Amino acid sequence: MKKIGLFWGSTSGNTEIAVEFIEEYLSDEGFEVDSHNVADADPEAMLNYDNLIIGCPTWNIGELQDDWDSIFMDFEQLNFDGKTAAFFGCGDAVGYADNFLDAIGMLSKTFMEKGGKLIGRCKRDDYDFRDSIALDGDELLGLGLDYDNEEEKCEDQMVAWLKNIMSEFK
């Protein structure tokens, strides 16, 4: 059975809702998923997994969610050689169109700089925003979920993304 470490943070509960859906979907697909709220997790625990899913909403105009912010300096020190990760994040493309999903960009770029293999990019065209640190050409470096404006789309977006990343995990 493929094992995945799912590390996430959530301030107002949207990411937590997504995490519950992702966990259930992947366990139905035969994966073993260990879920860690980073409010209580040691960042080094990420190194116990070859397969990672990282969830972080963007807060405070282009900042990491608070619990991620607290561990970011430790996260930056980790060596992700040999690790595969997919990133997702909640954001608000209407209220924060110039900083939509910035947190995905901050975490995923650091992960790649430290040797990790990124999976789970998404098309920019599926969203309507102006700018993001998570942009790489016409792609986003992870899955964006906009519960504030397009909640009805979120489950379908997660399913499409999960189908895409599942086969990439070792």
Ligand X SMILES: Cc1cc2nc3c(=O)[nH]c(=O)nc-3n(C[C@H](O)[C@H](O)[C@H](O)COP(=O)(O)O)c2cc1C
Binding mask 112-151 for ligand X (x = CB under 6 A): -----------------------------------xx---
Rule CB under 6 A: choose which of 23, 54, 58, 134 binds ligand X: 58
φ/ψ (deg, to 5) at 150: -140, 50
> Contact, 100 vs 107, CB < 8 A?
no
Nearest to 50 by CA among 3, 110, 119: 3
Rule CB under 6 A: choose which of 27, 60, 77, 79 binds ligand X: 60
CB of 67 to ligand X, least distance (A): 10
Cα–Cα distance for residue pair 130/71, rounded to 1 Å: 28
Q: Is 61 in the site for ligand X (CB under 6 A)?
A: yes
Q: Over the range 110-129, which residues count as b (16 or more CB within 10 Å of their CB) and which as e?
A: ebeeeebebbbbbebeebeb
CB of 170 to ligand X, least distance (A): 28
Query: Residue 84 or residue 92: which is nearer to ligand X going by CB?
Result: 92
Binding-site ranges for ligand X (CB under 6 A)? 10-15, 57-62, 65, 90-92, 96, 99-102, 147-148
